[in-house]
Structure 1
Amino acid sequence: MRSSSDPVRLTVRATCLVAAAVVLAGCGSGDGSETGPASAPTTSVSAQPGAFVGECGSLTDAEVYERAGITGLTPVSRNGIKCRWEADGGERYVMFTWYRGSPIDRERSVAKGIGHEVHDLEIAGHRGFSSQNVGFCEVALGTGADFVHWLVRYGTGTAPSDPCAAPTALGRLTLEKVK
């Protein structure tokens, strides 16, 4: 069972709160009576679709193990948008997520909002950010209207001197393989 201070749990909670606020902000009274001025027409800007990213960021388990630097990893879930490898019963893990049509800046805002140390980064022309806190680092890199996200959780007291080296290397390799 994960503690309520687990960074992934906090990120999920914050993301849910932001999503709920956006949904509620878009809701009116529902009775059809508008007392304010007429709404201005909105324009829709079509965002460029992102590059195709294969399952697990197009990486093999061996490539993940090699770059993650965590011994004993085993795959526990994999599908077209999310993969996870765990060690020590989930205390240490690596997770890949492919966000389709989702704004990367929202994820950056969530990381900042929950007190993570956030830094801009760019790899092979893809802008993004890294976010870290005690024992973990995540890297998100934009690909058009999409972004890829790698998170490495080292557990308590086992993080390397540069906790963002592994997720950055995983992100770089994913970008090298996208189509």
Structure 2
Amino acid sequence: MKRLIGSAVAVTALLLAGCGGAAEPEPPAPETAPSTGAFRSDDCNGVTDADITKATQTSVFKKVVDSDAGCFWQEDTMLGTFGAGMGISTWWYRGSDMDVERELEQQAGRTITELAVDGNKGFKASDTNACSIYVAKGGDVITWSIQTMNSAMLPDLCSITDRLAQLSQQRVN
């Protein structure tokens, strides 16, 4: 009798285990990108080396940084034998605070102008040798900046960052 009860318990346990597995809900499918209103990721925030050359009307900028966070094209300008290090950059900040960015630009003495690019709010910060555009979407901020020691050799600096920010927004917004 003990053997019969033991066998019945074992069979019942197997049946319950089999039934229990089928009755459990399947894990939810992984979500696609959350609809938080964030920018889509793209190399250099969607802008190519050719776009840089076209916007600046010169080929003095060479890409020296290409990372998940952004890119930097260095101006091929020398001070004697030392590279000036000026250039064009784009960065993508997750969870950035536009007010902090605005305050840093004001502390640098730049003129701040509010703007919108492709429906996203932002601001422009500029002076004689630099122009930056910051654009926010959800918790993301994309910035485009140009700094040079010889702004006379280029088109208006803000026209360059305006063009690059527009291209970027069209491609990652």
Q: TM-score, normalised by structure 2?
A: 0.69
Q: Partner letter of residue 156 of structure 1?
A: N
Aligned to 2:152, the other structure's residue is in SS state coil
- Counterpart check, 1:175 vs 2:163: no
User: Following TM superposition, by how much is the alpha carbon of 1:111 offset from its aligned partner in structure 2, in angstroms?
Assistant: 0.8
Counterpart for residue 65 of structure 2: 77
- Counterpart check, 1:163 vs 2:157: yes
Q: Partner letter of residue 143 of structure 2?
A: H
User: Following TM superposition, by how much is the alpha carbon of 1:90 offset from its aligned partner in structure 2, in angstroms?
Assistant: 3.9
Counterpart for residue 13 of structure 2: none
User: Following TM superposition, by how much is the alpha carbon of 1:170 offset from its aligned partner in structure 2, in angstroms?
Assistant: 0.4
Q: Partner letter of residue 177 of structure 1?
A: R
Report the Cα distance in structure 1 between the residues aligned to 2:126 and 2:47, rounded to whole angstroms.
Answer: 23
Report which of the two has the higher share of strand.
2
CA contact (8 A) 1:104 1:146 kept: no
User: Following TM superposition, by how much is the alpha carbon of 1:93 offset from its aligned partner in structure 2, in angstroms?
Assistant: 0.9
Report which of the two has the higher share of helix.
2
Structure 1: where are the runs of 5+ without partners?
1-47
- Map residues 12-31 of structure 1 onto 2, 5 A cutoff: none
Q: Deviations over 1:53-92 (max 9, x none)?
A: 3121111111122113343211111011121111213444
Report the Cα distance in structure 2 between the residues aligned to 1:135 and 1:158, rounded to whole angstroms.
Answer: 9
User: Following TM superposition, by how much is the alpha carbon of 1:174 offset from its aligned partner in structure 2, in angstroms?
Assistant: 0.5
Q: Deviations over 1:107-140 (max 9, x none)?
A: 0111112221110011111110110122110111
Alignment partner of 1:97 out of 91, 94, 114: 91
Q: Partner letter of residue 109 of structure 1?
A: E
Counterpart for residue 152 of structure 1: 146
Structure 2: where are the runs of 5+ without partners?
1-35, 78-82
CA contact (8 A) 1:57 1:96 kept: yes
Instruction: State how many pairs are aligned.
Output: 133
Counterpart for residue 44 of structure 2: 56
